Every structure is written in C-alpha cells, then in structure tokens.
Amino acid sequence: MSAGPEAVSAVERRLAELGLALPGVAAPVAAYVPAIVTGNHVYTSGQLPFIDGALPASGKVGAEVSAEDAKAYAARCAVNALAAIKAQIGDLDRVTRIVKVVGFVASDPSFTGQPGVINGASELFAQVFGEAGSHARSAVGVAVLPLDAPVEVEVIAEFA
C-alpha cells in the first residue's frame, strides 16, 4: 500500500493558481539563517528575487531595472519568503497573519516609487492569504543591495 501523494496546502494551491510554486529555500549569502521562529512568529531574513538560484536582473530601479520589473521581483521575493516560512513551520496553512513586510529597493537617486515596487509583495500576500495577508509595511530606497539585487523583502508572519 503506497502512502499516496503529499498533501498540498490551500496556500500552495492558491500559489499554483497564480502560476507559482514554492522553490527550495535560498541558501544564505552571508552569516545568517533564512528564517527563525520565536513564539508564534516566523521572521525571515531579507529574501532576494532568486529564480532557480540566480538573480533575474541586477542594478538600480529607475535606471537598469524598470519599476514594473522590480514589482514582479518583489513578488518573487515574497514567494521565496514563503518557502523560508514553510521550512520553519511545515505547512503554510498554519499562517494566521502576515504581520509586517519590509521592502528594500536599490534605487536610482531620482527614483521615488519604492511603495509601488513593494506592492508586488503586498499584493501577492493579499492574493494568497486574503485578509490575513494585510500587513504593516515599510518600503525603503537604498543605494545598493547584496549581489546588486534590485529588491529585497523580509517578512514577519504569525502562525498557529
């Protein structure tokens, strides 16, 4: 008798409906861990928009990278954060709230659209979690990010 296919969470089904799948957890690029649990919260480290282990683009938003592309990369950062969260708690259906999102945008000095870029992550969380995806947020422009990534997102999620 076989064990049958692994159960897929409702959150992962919603991701699949959006054409997305959880990747493996990105390996840290320095001395840290991808996520950590304390109490009933998971704190992720900053997640870059890795796709198959590589950055899809590098450079400053408003110069080498368009705001539209950067918004899509912020959504990818959110998916990567979900992979890190799942690795800590085992099942994304345990997430009861996305509490806080902090987004960093490597910005050309004249670029002021950081909130619109980080909307990529915020909108993804709303699509996947509904009202539980509503969160507090910061969107910050910075001079440069690790590996010259255009965007980085960190997340605090509550779980039961």
Distance CA(26)–CA(152), nearest Å, equals: 13
Alpha-carbon Rg for the chain, nearest whole angstrom, is: 15
Residue 2 has pLDDT above 50, yes or no: no
pLDDT digits (tens, 9 = 90+) for 82-98: 999 999 999 999 999 99
Q: What are phi and psi of 91, to 5 degrees?
A: -150, 120
The reported pTM is 0.94
Check residue 6 and give its pLDDT: 58
